[in-house]
Amino acid sequence: MNRIEELDGVAERYDLVIVGAGPAGLAAATEASKLGLSTLLADENSGPGGQIYRAITVTPVQERDVLGTSYWQGLGLAKELETTSCDYAPRTIVWSGEPARDDTGQLIEPPGFEIGLSKDGKARLIQARRLILATGALERPFPIPGWTLPGVMTAGAAQIALKASGLVPQGRTVLAGSGPLLLLLADQLKRAGANIIAVLDTTPKGNLISALPLLPDFCRSSYAVYGAKLLAKSRLSLPVRQNVSDLKIDGHDRAEGISFRRNGQEQRIECDQVLLHQGVIPNINMANALGCALQWDGQLHAWTPTVDGWLESTVPGIAIAGDGAGIAGAASAAVRGRIVAVAAAATLGRIDHKTRDRLAAPLKKEAMRLARGRRFIDTLYRPGPDLLRPKDPSTIICRCEEIRVGQIRDIVRDLHVQGPNQLKAYLRTGMGPCQGRMCGPSVIELIAEQRGVPVPEVGHLRLRMPVKPITLEEIASMPQSRAAKNAVMR
C-alpha cells in the first residue's frame, strides 16, 4: 500500500477510485488490487477504519475488552490492505464525480469519471474508469428540544472520542434513544470508566410485538448470540429505564439536565453530558449528488441508493458498497466491498464472467446470511412517531439555519408545500453546510405528516456537488474547457 501524503502524489488516472476507508472500502480496495486493478482509496480521516473501526491502527485503547472483539476484527482488514499495491490517500475529500468529457463537452470513450479531490486547501481532478462509494452511514437525526446545546452529542461521537483518543465523558452522562448501538456504547463507556447515570430507552412499547414474528429469523442470525449477551449484560449492569418519551434537554448555554415522561410521570435528571442515538441510516449525500437514484427502504425507514444484484447504482460505473447502500453492519460491509471489487474487475476485463461468478457466489451467500436478522432489529428499534415528527414547535430541525418545527409546520400547511426541495426554497432548510444530513429525514417526515401521505411520496432533497464544502479558490483551479469558457464569457 502506498500512503499518499500530498495531493500531487495521486496519479492522473486509476481503474478504480474508492471513497471511504471503512470496512467496505478497505475490503474493496484490497480485493481490487489483488485482482490487478489500479486503485485509489480516498478517505477524509487520517487513518483507515471509517467510523465503526475508527482509529483501528492507532487506538490508545489497547485493553481489548473495552472496545470488544467486533471492533478488533477491523485490524485484519487494515493490515490486509497494507500488503497490496493500492494507493491510499488519507485526509482527502472527494467532492465531485462527473462523467468525463473532452474539451468540446462530449463524453469520452471508453466512459470514465472525473473525480474532484481536495486536501489541505488544494484541489485536483483525476480520472477513473469506475467509482465505488463506500461512505457508510450516519446517525438518524434526534430532534428534541435542546439537542443543539453544547454537551449533547451522538453516541457515535462518544465512540469516536473513545476509540481514537481514549477519552470518555467526564461528568454525569446520560444516554438516550434506542437501538443496539446505544447499549453497546453504554457498555463500552462503563468499562472505560465513564459515569453513566441513566440509559433512557425510547424504544416504543409496541415494537416488540411487531418484531416478534421476525424473532425466529433473528435467532438464526449471526447477531443473535452477541445481541442476547449484550441485552442480558446491560439489564444487569446499566441503569436502563424503558418506555421513555417526551425527552427534553434543558440548560442555558450547555446541557444541564434531561427530562422525560415515563409511566405517566414527568421526571428530570441533572447531568453534564447527553449522548443521543436512534439507529443509523445510509449517508446518501454523495450518491445523490452524483446522480444515483434513491429508493425508500420501508423496513429501515430511510432513503437508500437503488442498486442491482452487483451493487451497481443507476449511474453506470458507480457502485455502492457497505452501509451506504443499506444498513447491514461491518461484516456485511466488508463482504459487499469484495463483491463490488469483483464486479469491477469483470467489467474492466481483468477477469472473465465465469471467474467473476465463481468468486462472487460465496460472497453473495455470505452477504445474505449476514442480512438475516436485520428485519427483526429494524422493526424492534424503529423510532416512534414522536422522535421522527417532534410535537414541540420550538424543536430545531435544521441545525445550520436554526429552523424550528413550528415554522416548518406553518409553511407546509399555509403554502401547500409538496416536498423538501420546495420547503428548502421557502425556509432554507437544507441550505447550510451540512447539506441536509442533519435535517433531511425530519423535514420529509413533517411534510408527510401535514400532507397525510406516506413518507416516500414526499421525496428527498436533490443534491449536487460539492459533496463537502471546498473553497472558491479550489473550484477556480479546476480545468476550464473551451466549452466552459464560452458558456461564461459571452
Partner 1 sequence: MGGGIVGASIAFGLARSGERVVLLDEGDIAFRASRGNFALVWVQSKGLALPPYAAWTQQSAAEWHELARILLDETGIDVAHSQPGGFTLCLSQKEVDARLNKLKQFHNLPGVAQFPYEILDHDEVKRRLPDIGNKVVGAVYSPLDGHANPLLLMRSLHNYLTIKGAEYRPAHAVDSIQTEADGFRLKGSWGEIRTAKLILAAGLGNARLAPMVGLEAPVKPSRGQLIVTEKTTPFLHNPMVTIRQTNEGGILIGDSKEEAGFENVTGTGVLSVMADRAMQMFPRLRHLNVVRTWSALRVMSPDGFPIYDQTNSGPPAFVTSCHSGITLAGVHAITLGPALSQTSRLPEILTAFTPKRFHVPAHQ
Partner 2 sequence: MFRPISKRLSQSDDQSGARGDQTLEFTFDGRRMFGRAGDSLAVSLLANGVEAFRETPVSGAKRGPYCLMGVCFDCLVVVDGVGNRQACLTPLQQNMVVETQHGARNVDSLEKTGQ
Per CB under 8 A, residues contacting partner 2 are: 44-46, 51, 57-58, 60-63, 66, 91, 138-139, 148-154, 156-157, 160-162, 164-171, 192-193, 253-254, 272-273, 283, 399-402, 432-434, 437-438, 468
162 binds, among partner 1, partner 2, none (CB under 5 to 8 A by kind): partner 2
Measured from the CB atom, the residue of 280 and 328 that comes closer to partner 2 is 280
Minimal distance, residue 158 CB to partner 2, in Å = 8
Measured from the CB atom, the residue of 145 and 419 that comes closer to partner 1 is 419
**Rounded (10°) angle between helices 330-347 and 23-34:** 30
- Residue indicated by cell numbers 464544502: 469
133 binds, among partner 1, partner 2, none (CB under 5 to 8 A by kind): none
Measured from the CB atom, the residue of 58 and 368 that comes closer to partner 2 is 58
Q: CB neighbours of 100 closer than 8 A, spacing ≥ 6?
A: 107, 108, 111, 112, 113, 114, 127
Four-CA torsion 303, 308, 314, 318, nearest 10 degrees: 100
Minimal distance, residue 157 CB to partner 2, in Å = 4
What is the radius of gyration, based on Cα positions, of the chain?
23
Q: Which pairing describes strands 294-297 and 302-305: parallel, antiparallel, or unpaired?
A: antiparallel
Q: Using an 8 Å Cβ cutoff, are 163 and 61 in contact? A: yes
Minimal distance, residue 5 CB to partner 2, in Å = 12
Residue 397 half-sphere exposure toward CB, CA atoms < 13 A:
32
Measured from the CB atom, the residue of 36 and 105 that comes closer to partner 1 is 105
Minimal distance, residue 14 CB to partner 1, in Å = 18
Q: Using an 8 Å Cβ cutoff, are 336 and 325 in contact? A: yes
Q: Which helix (H) or strand (E) holds 441?
A: helix 440-451
Minimal distance, residue 41 CB to partner 1, in Å = 22
- Residue indicated by cell numbers 424492534: 380
Minimal distance, residue 428 CB to partner 1, in Å = 7
- Counting every residue written for the chain, the total comes to 490
Measured from the CB atom, the residue of 215 and 431 that comes closer to partner 2 is 431
168 binds, among partner 2, partner 1, none (CB under 5 to 8 A by kind): partner 2
Measured from the CB atom, the residue of 264 and 433 that comes closer to partner 1 is 433
Minimal distance, residue 487 CB to partner 2, in Å = 27
DSSP characters for 338-386?
Answer: HHHHHHHHHHTTSS-HHHHHHHHHHHHHHHHHHHTTHHHHHHHTPPPHH
46 binds, among partner 1, partner 2, none (CB under 5 to 8 A by kind): partner 2
Please say whether the dihedral angle defined by the alpha carbons of residues 179, 180, 184 and 187, taken in this order, is positive or negative. positive
437 binds, among partner 2, partner 1, none (CB under 5 to 8 A by kind): partner 2
DSSP characters for 380-434?
Answer: HTPPPHHHHS-S-TT-EEETTTTEEHHHHHHHHHHTT--SHHHHHHHH-TT-STT
In terms of Cβ atoms closer than 10 Å to its own Cβ (0-12, 13-18, 19+), residue 264 is exposed
63 binds, among partner 1, partner 2, none (CB under 5 to 8 A by kind): partner 2
HEC-encoded secondary structure of 188-238: HHHHCCCEEEEEEECCCCCHHHHHHHHHHHHHCCCHHHHHHHHHHHHHHHC
Measured from the CB atom, the residue of 130 and 163 that comes closer to partner 2 is 163
309 binds, among partner 2, partner 1, none (CB under 5 to 8 A by kind): none
57 binds, among partner 1, partner 2, none (CB under 5 to 8 A by kind): partner 2
Measured from the CB atom, the residue of 5 and 473 that comes closer to partner 1 is 473
CA angle 311, 313, 319 (to 5 degrees): 55
267 binds, among partner 1, partner 2, none (CB under 5 to 8 A by kind): none
Q: Using an 8 Å Cβ cutoff, are 383 and 377 in contact? A: no
Binding footprint of partner 1 on the chain (CB under 8 A) = 96, 98, 114, 116, 125, 291, 411, 414-422, 425-428, 431-433, 435, 458-459, 462, 464-466, 469-473, 475-481, 483-485, 487-490
139 binds, among partner 2, partner 1, none (CB under 5 to 8 A by kind): partner 2
Minimal distance, residue 168 CB to partner 2, in Å = 6
